[in-house]
Structure 1
Amino acid sequence: MRVFVRSLFAALALAVVAGLTLAPRMIVGPARRAFLDWADATTLPVFGGVAYAEAERLLNTAMFVPLGVALALLLPLRGWPLAVAAGFVVSVAVEYLQAGIPGRVPDPPDVLWNTVGGAVGVGAVTLVRALAVAARAQRGSVTRT
């Protein structure tokens, strides 16, 4: 059951990334504009000085964090490099496919920011798992007298 739920989460994360990055702009554009307007309105007091290019990088990074989490959950603890590599491959595939989609323009620097987002998600899962392993080992090594 756990593998099924994790696989479902990974499929959902991949579907969201695909929808946001591969749908024609005329379909995704209005939702993207509404999100950016909402983000501007709610974060203006905190992030008022953030330029569009920086916001775009942050959004590209944030979009891949759930995918990184999902990929890391599908693999064993030591499989984290494979999860980061898979995030990179998905990002490269997205940029390649965007070349043939109306209104989409591939942007090679997006590969970097998407991969960073995936790595952040993988890193979070790996850290939590490593801490859990250490805690279990600690409990197992405590002697009771």
Structure 2
Amino acid sequence: MVVRVAGFLLLLAHLLLVAWLTLRPRDVAWVTAPNLTPLAGIRSDLVLGPAEAARRIADGLLLLAPLGVLLPMADGRLTVSPWASLTRTAAAGALVSLAVELLQTAVPGQVVDVDSVLLNTTGVVLAHLLLVPAARARLRRRSGTARGSSSRRSRRAASQGPTPTIPRVGIAP
């Protein structure tokens, strides 16, 4: 319960930060054309040199990467299929990224870039794969030791024999 509430509050704080970073108007003399060709922006970043390309690609990967951890944390389930969790998290990350890009169309100085959606979603998936399975395993181990005493009690009760049953009594005509 504590993990779920903390995850939800951190998720809300992160989304507010992302909105503040990405949806502020920019004072620019000119605006570039929207990039609707996948990987074209990344290719143009690579032309700028390795340091600038690494910075721009890292910015795209890291912007929404915390969602890869915060979304499962806000969900709060410990026993869930890893593939289902990854799929849900990746889809939610892609939708958040797409929403940010679509909202940017109304902000002066901001331009739609399909590569941002690709990089943001990749960042969400990488963060999820690197952190969530290990964190869930650790939390399951910790909660498993807390449940150990109650499961011993239920095994003791099961060894006392079956619960007696009462035969059904029919209703009189």
TM-score normalised according to structure 2 size: 0.58
Partners of 2:130 and 2:26 lie apart in 1 by 32
| Runs of 4+, deviation exceeding 3 Å | 133-136
Give the superposed CA RMSD: 2.6
The unaligned stretches of length 5 or more in structure 2 are 28-48, 149-173
Q: What residue in structure 2 maps to residue 24 of structure 1?
A: 25
Equivalent AA in structure 1 for residue 74 of structure 2: L
Alpha-carbon offset, residue 124 of structure 1: 2.8
Change over 3 Å in CA distance of 1:53–1:100 after alignment to 2? farther
Deviation at 1:132, TM superposition (A): 2.3
Cα deviations across residues 88-132 of structure 1 (Å, max 9, x unaligned)?
000011111111100101111110100011112222332213542
Which segments of 5 or more consecutive residues in structure 1 lack a partner in the other structure? 27-48, 141-145
Matches within 5 A, 1:82-101: 82-101=88-107
Call closer, same or farther: CA 1:134–1:11 in 2, change over 3 Å.
closer
Tell me, in whole angstroms, the C-alpha distance in 1 between the residues paired with 2:129 and 2:102: 26
In structure 1, the residue matched to 2:132 is 126
Contact 2:101–2:113 (CA<8 Å) still a contact in 1? yes
Higher helix share: 1
Identity of paired residues, percent?
Answer: 34
Matched positions, count: 118
AA partner of residue 25 (structure 2): P
Q: 1:1-145 residue pairs with structure 2 within 5 A?
A: 2=2, 3-26=4-27, 50-75=50-75, 76-77=77-78, 78=80, 79-132=85-138
